[in-house]
Amino acid sequence: MQYVKHLECVLCGKTYPASPTATTCPACGPSGILDVVFDYDAISHREDRDEVIHSTDNGLWRWMPLLPVEPDGPRGPLLPGNTPLVPAPRLAEALGVGRLWLKDEGRAPTASLKDRASAIGVAKALEVGARTVATASTGNAASSLAGACAAAGLRSVIFVPKTAAEGKVAQLLIFGATVFQVQGSYADAFRLATEAIAEQPGWYNRLSGINPYLVEGKKTCGLEIALDLNWKVPDWVVVSVGDGCTVAGIARAFIELKRIGWIDRVPRILGVQAAGSRAIADAFATERYAPGGEDTIADGIAVGEPRNWIKAVTRIKATGGTFTLVTDDEIREAMRLTGRLTGVFAEPAAGAAVAGLQKATVQGIIGKSDSVAVVVSGSGLKDVRRAIEAAGAPLKVQPTIEAVRAALPPMN
Ligand SMILES: [Zn+2]
């Protein structure tokens, strides 16, 4: 917290002290999301980007000057961050872009980008001495919180919608979470979690829509992309969008790095939504927000009432970026293509990002010589049913070599 000045409401601009249990602006209600404001002048004067490279802190904690936690405060033992930025030249050629990298967040401790936010959530919970952390999630935020809590010896209470992928629910149960599978939508699960947290004194609130600190953890994914490319950022960074929190965090990373002089330009951010769950893309295009559907195979971005739409829209605009929409068929095709041409197994929400890039090249938004980093937000192993749907069935053969010879397809 050495550089945190205060919290500021994205709607009315009112400021509040950075208390660890802060949620939304009391004056504006649930839409008054708070932003953490750092003293960027002090950071740029006192911190050196080379120190980050050589930081003795591991994982996301190397970004301590830009994080809202105490440098010597308590932290959980799981260590997110430092996921690989995988060069993807064959996929670049297939999609028609100059250079392409995949930030493979499937390699995080519980196999998704949300581990970055949960590490901050658990650090904050430990800071206030909470014993229970609660959240609602489409799946990945929940499984990451459950893992981080299990590692830190905290109880996690999780509300998931009935559409949550089996692999993610399995993670929750294995990590010992108390799991409520709400027979309703994500919006129902969110509302129920909010009500339950309000009733239970001492529960720490890890709802990423309203906890102002979690997005700062997600930000480290963008910070790492800049570091991985030796501070020479790509032309575009592509992020799939559900609640809006992740894309807002990643956009913020580059805006902050430019502000403190560690990079010389901000990449444009391409937000990608599913055609059946497009509330933020519509708000971006029309400048009017209305809740939308949750109809997509990409459960991680199936969010009808996104809490962070304001941050997502303003931050993407600030980068000069835009949105694309993709269908479920395009997501399945992108999952296959990504796996075959890179060896990275993307979950549907991450396949959506690749599909969005593909669409943006067809639409002429992203050009043939542009360099692009795509955030692969989670592992395909989290949603095996959707992966099999996308990739088709194996060759079934009798246990004889003749059957194998007869069934073997030609090499392509
Ligand atoms: Zn406000």
Of 51-65, 86-100, 264-278, 370-384, which range is least confident?
A: 51-65
32: CA distance to ligand 1 center in Å? Answer: 5
Query: Which pLDDT score, from 0 to 100, does residue 58 have?
Result: 81
pLDDT for 348: 96
Q: What is the pLDDT of residues 328-381, one digit of tens each?
A: 999 999 999 999 999 999 999 999 999 999 999 999 999 999 999 999 999 999
- What's the CATH number of domain 85-108+215-391, 3.30.465.10, 3.40.50.2300, 3.40.50.1100, 3.40.630.30? 3.40.50.1100
Distance 6 CA to ligand 1 centre (A): 14
The residue to which tokens 């750092």 are assigned: 38
* Residue 185 confidence (pLDDT): 86
> With 80 as the cut, is the pLDDT of residue 209 above it?
no
Give distance in angstroms: CA of 278 to centre of ligand 1: 25
What pLDDT, on a 0 to 100 scale, did the predictor assign at position 30? 84
Rounded to an integer, the average pLDDT of 26-42 is: 94
Can you give the pLDDT at residue 166?
85
- Kindly report, residue by residue over 125-154, the tens digit of the pLDDT: 999 999 999 999 878 999 999 999 999 999
Written in H, E and C, the secondary structure of the chain is: CCCEEEEEECCCCCEECCCCCCCECCCCHHHCEEEEEECHHHHHHHCCHHHHHCCCCCHHHHHHHHCCCCCCCCCCCCCCCCCCEEECHHHHHHHCCCEEEEEEHHHCCCCECHHHHHHHHHHHHHHHCCCEEEEECCCHHHHHHHHHHHHHCCEEEEEEECCCCHHHHHHHHHCCCEEEEECCCHHHHHHHHHHHHHHCCCEEECCCCCCCCHHHHHHHHHHHHHHHCCCCCCCEEEEECCCCHHHHHHHHHHHHHHHCCCCCCCCEEEEEEECCECHHHHHHHHCCCCCCCCCCCCHHHCCCCCCCHHHHHHHHHHCCCEEEEECHHHHHHHHHHHHHHHCCCECHHHHHHHHHHHHHHHCCCCCCCCEEEEEECEEHHHHHHHHHHHHCCCCCCCCCHHHHHHHCCCCC
User: How many whole angstroms from 8 Cα to the centroid of ligand 1?
Assistant: 8
In the predicted structure, residue 411 carries a pLDDT above the cut 90: no
Q: How far is the CA of 189 from the centre of ligand 1 (A)?
A: 25
Q: For tokens 């959980």, what's the residue?
A: 76
| pLDDT confidence of residue 5 | 97
At 248 the pLDDT is 96
Q: What is the pLDDT of residues 230-273, one digit of tens each?
A: 999 999 999 999 999 999 999 999 999 999 999 999 999 999 99
What distance in angstroms lies between residue 30's CA and the mean position of ligand 1's atoms? 9
Ligand 1 centroid – CA 386 distance (Å): 40
Q: How far is residue 220's CA from residue 216's CA, in Å, rounded to a whole number?
A: 7
Cα(17) to centroid of ligand 1, in Å? Answer: 14
* Among 46-50, 51-55, 203-207, 327-331, the least confident range: 51-55
Question: 37 C-alpha to center of ligand 1: Å?
Answer: 15
% of the chain residues with pLDDT over 90 = 85
Q: What pLDDT score does 320 carry?
A: 98
**Integer Cα distance of 389 and 367 in angstroms:** 31
Span 195-211, average pLDDT: 90
Predicted local confidence at residue 208, as pLDDT: 77
Compute the mean pLDDT over every residue in the chain, rounded to the nearest whole number.
94
Query: How many angstroms separate the alpha carbon of residue 14 from the centre of ligand 1?
Result: 6
| Cα–Cα distance list, 96 to 11, 357, 401 (Å) | 40, 10, 41
For residue 255, how far is its CA from the centre of ligand 1 (angstroms)? Answer: 22
Residue with the bigger pLDDT between 384 and 258: it is 258
Domain segments of the chain: what residues?
Answer: 85-108+215-391
Amino acid 412: pLDDT: 72
The residue assigned the tokens 């949105």 is 323
Q: Which two tokens stand for residue 51?
A: 């120190």
CA of 322 to the centre of ligand 1 (A): 26
Spacing, Cα 283 to ligand 1 middle (Å): 20
Distance 25 CA to ligand 1 centre (A): 5
pTM assigned to the model: 0.95
37 strand-pairing partners: 6
> How far apart are the CA of 369 and the centre of ligand 1, in A?
42
pLDDT at site 210: 85
Question: In the predicted model, is pLDDT for residue 104 greater than 80?
Answer: yes
Half-sphere exposure of 22 (CA within 13 A, CB side): 22
Confidence of residue 38 (pLDDT cuts 50, 70, 90): very high
